[in-house]
Structure 1
Amino acid sequence: MKSKAKITKGLIIASAAILVFFIIGSISKKQNGKVINAISIHVEDQYDNFFIDENDILKLINDGHTNSIVGVPVNDLELKEIETNIKSNPFVRTAEVYRDLKGNLMVKVKPRKPMARILINNGPDAYIDSGGEIIPTSDEFTARVVLISGTYTKKLMTEKEADQEVKRNLTEMLKAIDGDKFLRAQVAQLDMDNEGRITIYPQIGKQYIEFGRPVNVEEKFKKLKILFKRILPERGWNTFSRVNIEYNNQIVCE
């Protein structure tokens, strides 16, 4: 009985394998005779990010040619090559290209999100994105983000010179600002000295705020909120010229 059951089980498995092989073969034959019917492009997280749109992606898909790949035989396309063309755009973070069974080319793109604009003396500005990557500015769109100035900006632009820990911590600091509506409204500019120490220039008030290196960010931002929500409204927005929140459990106002 056991050997009979094993034979039956083996036949079922073999039949299933043959069926799967037949289905794959049928799909492959159908695909061989198909052409690209349409192109579906989805750009993720496009809200308030106009560095790249569907038309830009379409040009990259067609490799800059005026003739569309719609109508081109499916087997004549190299999907990896199309992905590479799309990823060559500095404003593209990730790209996924695949075909569906109806012969449509499906394209999913995630653009880079600029977190801050780096101001460079005697050179072109740039952005730093949510992944800590440096990307160029655009002639078509200017992002409303925090400005970064100071002598450290040259190091940020050069991968070999930048302190990677400072860069990572700065990126996390920028994410914290971007993710907090109150901080986004208050922080206008970060000035970084040659050692990576940060001075914050707020949107309102004449004071500058010594933040120090981008560490213990959460604790420092709590103190920054106390400054903006309690101290300055009570004492006056232009009472102090210098504020230091760099050290533990201290808010020094002068």
Structure 2
Amino acid sequence: MRYLRHTILTLLWLGVFVYMLWAGASVRRGRSALRVRSLDIEVVDSTSQGYLVTGPQVRQWISQSGIGTIGTAVADVDLTAIERLIARNGFVSDVASYISGRGELHVRITPREPLLRLLTDGRNAYVTSGGYVFAAPRASSLYVPVVTGSYRPPFPADYVGDVRACIDLRKQEIEARIEELERSKYPVYRREQANDRSYREFRRKRIKRRWWRGESAEAFDRRVEELLAQKAEQRRVYRYRSRLLAAELARIEEQQEAERRKQKKLEKSYEDFMKLLTFVETVEDDDFWRSEVVQIAAHTTSSGALEVELVPRSGRHTILFGRLEDVDRKFDKLMRFYRNGLSTIGWDEYRTIDIRYKDRVICKK
């Protein structure tokens, strides 16, 4: 009886296994015969500021790429190629595609959310709050703050990607040059050691009177004087070579120091860039300043510091905001001046309002 039960169970499981194989084969046969009947493109736009990419644009990309979609057998559709095609655009954050059981090809695109638009130093790019930069797509329409002026960000004009990654790569390149310069010191060190060794050996040179040849005291004295003269000459040569080698090492060290200064300057420029993003976020997070600030102009001073100027909606003046430090205090000071000063004097009274200095507001007509 036990053997009969085991036999029945075995046959049942064997039947289930055969059915699964048959069902899988049937699905594969049906799927191989199924063709894509429609293409649905969904652009997930979590902002109300406009758009970076539209469904018709994506359809055009896919059409121009030659990747088969509508009318193509489901098994022959290269979903990975479609995703790579769309994702290569820097303004796309994420893309996913799949085909439903009815042959509907779905493509879901999540674009990046820009914080501001850079129109400085020949650039026309969007930047996210996290510091990701990408070229502004043609025909894009986003209502985000615009930063203009002569400010030069710490990345190439055609760069697309995370700015921190760009900075790290450039710092690694500088570090590689510093290490290369360090290796160039080794031959100089060896020449320096050879010069020291040669001089020490010559200094230890001694002469003895040749009694066995009957050398006179006068002849011995002459040889001593010749040796002293040779040592004096050798000392001058040694010191001259030492100065040359020291100068060569100093030159290499100065080159290394110049590279380190580049690293520090690069890191400082990145800090200023991130301060600019934080500043824009501060303006956008405040209802009043978001509507009041029409334009942000950024420029770099002769000392290398980043300063900004603001063009307000009210009045005809320009606000000299200065460096992006003590931002909240400066805005509080400006707000007090708006309430207690301009509201009484008049909004068109001054051409510039300077709030760069602590506890002072300097106005010029």
**2:307 maps to what in 1?**
197
Q: Distance in 2 between matches of 1:228 and 1:107?
A: 53
Tell me if structure 2 keeps the 8 A contact 1:36–1:103. Answer: yes
Tell me if structure 2 keeps the 8 A contact 1:201–1:209. Answer: no
Pick the aligned partner of 2:288 from 179, 182, 188.
182
- Using the size of structure 1 for normalisation, the TM-score is 0.71
Pick the aligned partner of 2:355 from 234, 238, 244.
244
**1:4 maps to what in 2?**
none
Tell me if structure 2 keeps the 8 A contact 1:200–1:211. Answer: no
**2:154 maps to what in 1?**
155
Tell me if structure 2 keeps the 8 A contact 1:223–1:245. Answer: no
Pick the aligned partner of 2:339 from 218, 221, 230.
230
Q: Distance in 1 between matches of 2:27 and 2:276?
A: 50
**2:60 maps to what in 1?**
59
- Aligned AA for 2:95? A
Q: Which has the higher helix share?
A: 2
Shift in alpha-carbon separation, 1:38–1:235, aligned structure 2, 3 A: same
Tell me if structure 1 keeps the 8 A contact 2:154–2:270. Answer: no
In the TM superposition, residue 229 of structure 1 has moved relative to its aligned partner by 6.0
1:127 and 2:103 are equivalent in the alignment? no
**1:107 maps to what in 2?**
107
Pick the aligned partner of 2:321 from 206, 210, 233.
210
RMSD over aligned CA atoms reads 3.9
Q: Distance in 1 between matches of 2:100 and 2:80?
A: 15
Shift in alpha-carbon separation, 1:110–1:226, aligned structure 2, 3 A: same
Tell me if structure 1 keeps the 8 A contact 2:310–2:318. Answer: no
1:49 and 2:46 are equivalent in the alignment? no
- Aligned AA for 1:61? I
In the TM superposition, residue 71 of structure 1 has moved relative to its aligned partner by 1.4
In the TM superposition, residue 35 of structure 1 has moved relative to its aligned partner by 1.7
- Using the size of structure 2 for normalisation, the TM-score is 0.52
Structure 2, unaligned runs of 5 or more: 1-9, 158-165, 168-265
**1:93 maps to what in 2?**
93
Tell me if structure 2 keeps the 8 A contact 1:207–1:238. Answer: no
- Aligned AA for 1:198? V
1:140 and 2:246 are equivalent in the alignment? no
Shift in alpha-carbon separation, 1:24–1:210, aligned structure 2, 3 A: farther
